[in-house]
């Protein structure tokens, strides 16, 4: 079976300038991992129509499941809705369900004030634009304030606010991709090599991957952190294998034996499930 790749596109100058820190990637990793899935790639793009359109055009040409956050509002620096339509060469149109939901939101905010509730009110005209999606889109419900996101061609467009985007991500995964959950018995096992040197381990890593198809050997070097103490205080490497449970169980002992033969020490780490 072909397994879907999950990707994330984060839109916004505020992320690239450092005014705000991206919280979408860590949340998406968390939501995917809870469901036995993983994040394949993340792409960041500023509030530039040409750049966003180019990114989306390439993305729509894939079979990936893609979440895009940011830029779906109605202010002059929000371009994602328009860019998605341009990338697909379809017009924008007010989605009927989005119109109903935004009208509900307008009435709630008006608090009984008939003037504020008028759809012809300039502020409400702008709010209604947030329901203009590429033709063919379906809505993604927003439990925070009712203003929906939209989805089309396995691309799911969410607000830039993490408090809204996170539950919308979870809804999309649970409603649309539950059949993909926990299909792969993916695991990783690793250990620490105090004072390890990557150059001395490269050949061993290549040998393990060559003789054990389906696994990946990873190396995470660290200069050490005195605050952590023990083997973590000084230079060390976390060396490990990831892949299906059966393949990792076969390859892991050979990796450890190879490291010991090279004359390095091994510091065991607690593994998932221990």
pLDDT at 173 over 80: yes
SS3 readout for the chain: CCCCCEEEEEECHHHHHCCCCCCHHHHHHHHHHHCCCCEEEEEEECCCHHHHHHHHHHHHCCCCEEEEECCCCCCCCCCHHHHHHHHHCCCEEECHHHHHHHHHHHHHHHCCCHHHHCCCCHHHHHHHHCCEEECCCEEECCCCCCCCEEEECCEEEECCCHHHHHHHHHHHHHHHCHHHCCCCCEEEEEEEEECCCHHHHHHHHHHHHHHCCCCEEEEEEECCCCCCCHHHCCCEEEEEEEEEHHHHHHHHHHHHHHHHHCCCCCEECCCCCC
**Intervals of CATH 3.40.980.10 along the chain:** 6-180
**Intervals of CATH 3.30.70.2520 along the chain:** 186-268
Q: For 186-197, what is the mean pLDDT?
A: 92
Closest residue by Cα to residue 65 from 179, 167, 163? 179
Site of tokens 């999309």: 172
- Mean confidence (pLDDT) of the chain: 94
Closest residue by Cα to residue 271 from 192, 189, 187, 184? 189
CA-CA distance, 253 to 239, in Å (whole number)? 12
Residues paired with 11 in a beta bridge: 45
First-to-last C-alpha distance (Å) of the chain: 30
pLDDT tier for residue 20 given thresholds of 50, 70 and 90: very high
Assign a CATH topology to domain 186-268.
Alpha-Beta Plaits (3.30.70)
pLDDT tier for residue 272 given thresholds of 50, 70 and 90: low
pLDDT at 1: 38
pLDDT at 74 over 50: yes
Are the C-beta atoms of residues 255 and 268 closer than 8 Å to each other? no
Taking the model in full, what pTM does it have? 0.85
pLDDT at 273: 47
Query: How confident is the model over 123-132, as pLDDT tens digits?
Result: 999 999 999 9
Query: How confident is the model over 234-270, as pLDDT tens digits?
Result: 999 999 999 888 999 999 999 999 999 999 999 998 8
Assign a CATH topology to domain 6-180.
Molybdenum Cofactor Biosythetic Enzyme; Chain A (3.40.980)
């Amino acid at each position: 079976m072909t397994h879907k790749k999950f990707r994330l596109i984060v839109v916004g100058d505020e992320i690239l300038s450092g005014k705000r820190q991206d919280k979408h990637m860590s949340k998406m990793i968390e939501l995917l991992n809870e469901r036995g899935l993983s994040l394949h790639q993340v792409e960041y793009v500023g509030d530039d129509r040409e750049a966003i359109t180019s990114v989306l055009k390439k993305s729509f040409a894939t079979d990936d499941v893609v979440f895009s956050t940011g830029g779906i509002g109605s202010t002059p620096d929000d371009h994602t809705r328009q860019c998605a339509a341009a990338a697909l060469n379809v017009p924008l149109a007010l989605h009927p369900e989005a119109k109903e939901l935004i009208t509900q939101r307008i009435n709630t905010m008006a608090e009984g004030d008939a003037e504020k509730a008028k759809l012809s009110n300039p502020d409400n005209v702008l709010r209604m634009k947030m329901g203009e999606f590429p033709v063919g889109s379906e809505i993604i419900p927003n439990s925070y304030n009712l203003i929906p996101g939209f989805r089309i061609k396995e691309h799911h467009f969410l607000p830039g606010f993490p408090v809204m985007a996170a539950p919308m991500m979870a809804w999309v995964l649970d409603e649309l991709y539950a059949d993909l959950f926990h299909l792969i018995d993916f695991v990783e096992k690793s250990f620490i090599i105090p004072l390890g040197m990557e150059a001395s381990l490269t050949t061993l890593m290549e040998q393990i991957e060559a003789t054990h198809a389906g696994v990946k050997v990873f190396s995470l070097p660290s200069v050490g952190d005195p605050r952590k103490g023990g083997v973590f205080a000084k230079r060390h490497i976390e060396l490990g294998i990831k892949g299906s449970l059966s393949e990792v169980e076969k390859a892991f002992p050979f990796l450890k034996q190879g490291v010991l033969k090279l004359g390095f020490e091994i510091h065991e780490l607690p593994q998932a499930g221990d």
